[in-house]
Copies of this chain bind each other. A is one copy, B any other.
Amino acid sequence: MDVKYDPIIFSQIEALDLEQFIIGTYLMKAKTSDLLMRAGAVAVEQTTGTWMPVPDETPEVRRNHVGRIIGVYLVPGYEAVLPEGEHTCIIRIAFPWKNIGQQLPQLLSTVFGNISMTNNLKLLELEFPKSFTAGFKGPKFGIEGLRQLLGIEKRPPIMAMIKPCTGIPVDVIKRQFRKLVLAGVDIVKDDELIADPAHAPLEERIKACMEVVEEVYQETGKRVLYFPNITDRQDRMLEKAKRAIELGAEGLMLNVHASGYGSLGALAEDPELNVPLLAHPCFAGAMYLGESTGMSSHLVHGKFMRLEGADIVVYNSAYGKVPSVRERYVRIAQTLQSPFHHLKPTFPSPCAGIHPGIIPTMMKDLGNDMVIGAGAGMHAHPMGLEAGVKALKQAAEAAMNNIPLEEYAKEHIELKEAIDLWGIYDPSKTIFELTS
């Protein structure tokens, strides 16, 4: 009997050896009443098939390589009558990962390749088996390793950004860098807007900042990690990474999303580049902000960054200047921190508009294993930069000891000045209530 629905494509998860498959979950909108066939077309398009049968797509090829529909769920969950019009559903497809190999660019080409252009399809989730993940080394340091490098046992490390974003020459950068380091920050990163401009070339910046790192280390015994931004065309980026290490850099930063998936991984898996990596989120919004296009933010900022070996992932907090659904910002952090086969956990660093008044709320959401990243919320403190760093640390101390900020501020003038200026974020309206 010739059935309409190919029994290989329309499968059950229980029929599959899950080590052989990557499972993608999609949000799909469609007007057709045959949502099963529509889902099947997606699975076939991204594996063996095209719009007409072709001679070399033998039954054996299909059996071994085609994508499997393992779930189609209508939202709302109509059972008796399907109304006319557009339907929203969740579909789950299992892709044989041997089609892909253990690499991100080809993974994306397969799980969200041509179908990325079909509209009304958003990639919500990817689930990776151990066998696929084994091809990725992940973070070289991870949360534990980076804590050891920094000599910080429990509290969130404090990360500064050089500000303004672009336009200042190397001597001003060096002066500001020294101030930041002496003010007590643990990490300094370049702004994402400075890569290798003529007014502040990368090599000169690294030389200048590493001189300061050494000086301060000699003077105080404290060693700050500097992450220079090596973003460039991929061949030059790889050269710059090696050159940065020669010049003494002890960390590297990349605008990963503008550079492409696989670019950070190339750094992470190079044994010569034995330094932690920081992933910056700029340009990522182009890929995740569509409501029924693109991919979920916890894939973009979370799973892909961890597979690629980021030790710190900067992204936008739900409480700052760049809007973000709170559930998304928390889920990104969870994706970075919680177990993921053999991959070490990665520090989330929700940034953009962070100031001391937000810290306790963020630490309640994410725990201590986050990097507190602040730009203006440190530089623009009314008592100056050093006070700005102190106020952030004081806010973290208050949170770790469960002391309300207002109370801790009574004994800590820097914190008091900060919350007088910027206020205290009030989470009461947004906090999750089991009974609500």
Contacts and interface: CB of A to CB of B under 8 A. Distances in A.
Interface in A210-236: 231-236
Interface string A164-177: 11111000100010
Contacts of A193: 46-47, 99, 109-110, 113
A113 B100 CA distance: 30
A375 B165 contact: no
Contacts of A237: 105, 234, 262
A52 interface: yes
Nearest to A282: B113
A131 interface: no
A99 B293 CA distance: 31
Contacts of A53: 376, 380
Given A234-B262, A380-B54, A294 B286 contact: yes
B262 A262 contact: no
Nearest to A166: B99
A303 to B, nearest CB: 15
A164 B49 contact: yes
Interface of A: 46-57, 61-62, 64-66, 98-101, 103-106, 108-110, 112-119, 123, 163-168, 172, 176, 192-199, 231-238, 255, 258-263, 265-266, 269-270, 280-287, 289-290, 293-295, 316, 321-324, 352-353, 375-377, 379-380, 385
Given A113-B283, A286-B295, 4 more contacts: A104-B233, A105-B231, A118-B323, A235-B270
B50 A165 contact: yes
A263 B266 contact: no
Contacts of A165: 46-50
A293 B287 CA distance: 9
19 contacts: A51-B376, A52-B379, A54-B163, A56-B379, A103-B233, A105-B259, A109-B258, A114-B192, A114-B281, A117-B322, A119-B323, A233-B265, A234-B260, A235-B270, A260-B261, A286-B286, A286-B287, A287-B287, A287-B294
Contacts of A112: 283, 285-286
A286 B283 CA distance: 12
Given A103-B232, A109-B258, A283-B109, A61 B167 contact: yes
Looking at A66, A103, A255, the one whose CB has the most chain B CB atoms below 10 A away is A103
Given A50-B376, A289-B293, A284 B116 contact: yes
A46 B258 CA distance: 14
Contacts of A235: 238, 266, 269-270
B163 A50 contact: yes
B262 A232 contact: yes
Contact of A117 (B51, B168, B289): B289
Contact of A376 (B54, B113, B176): B54
Given A316-B117, A352-B114, A290 B281 contact: no
A114 B232 contact: no
Contacts of A284: 116-117
Contacts of A123: 286
Nearest to A50: B376
Given A234-B238, A260-B234, A166 B47 contact: yes
